[in-house]
Structure 1
Amino acid sequence: MVITLRAARVNSGMTLMRASSSLGINKDTLSRYERDSADIPRSLLVNIQRLYGVNGDNIFFGCESEFFRTRKMYELIEGG
């Protein structure tokens, strides 16, 4: 199952402050990547995977709103 970067953080039980501190970045930077992870640096991605305990193949990379828009479209297709 593919989830957003924000969902991966929440599922790992971490707050935005704690995760950003552990990653050595500003909370606003992490929040920005959670909204749009299309340009996340590879080194940060590797650290996030380790910290959250999630495989990168299970994280959606791109604009978070696009993830939800696409998911809603699939739900409509499957439901109707």
Structure 2
Amino acid sequence: MPEYKVTWRAARVNAGYTLKEVANLTDRSIDTIHRYERDSRDIPFDLMGQLLSLYSVPQDMVFCGKESDLIGIRKIIPA
């Protein structure tokens, strides 16, 4: 299990994709992808699989939940 987790947004950016590209590749709207990047608690399983494959990241490396919760945790825990 990885020592850290990345947000869906970070996984996308690290893979070199824009929101528009991901929306086109997954046949979803830009708003839908953006919404799940902010809060992935209810991300559909099929979309999660597409994104994991597209971004080439293992499932246990990506944080599923509210992006602000992960960022808040990082601010509380000293580096």
Query: Which category describes the TM-score, using the shorter chain as reference length?
Result: over 0.9
2:69 corresponds to which of 46, 66, 71: 66
**Which residue is 1:5 aligned to?**
8
Structure 1 residue runs of 5 or longer lacking an equivalent are none
Runs of 4+ deviating beyond 2 Å: none
**Which residue is 2:36 aligned to?**
33
The one-letter code matched in structure 1 to 2:9 is: R
- Identical aligned pairs, as a percentage? 42
TM-score, normalising length: structure 1 = 0.91
How many residues end up aligned between the 2 structures? Answer: 76
Q: Rg bigger for which structure?
A: 1
Task: Tell whether 2:27 aligns with 1:20.
Answer: no
C-alpha displacement of 1:35: 0.3
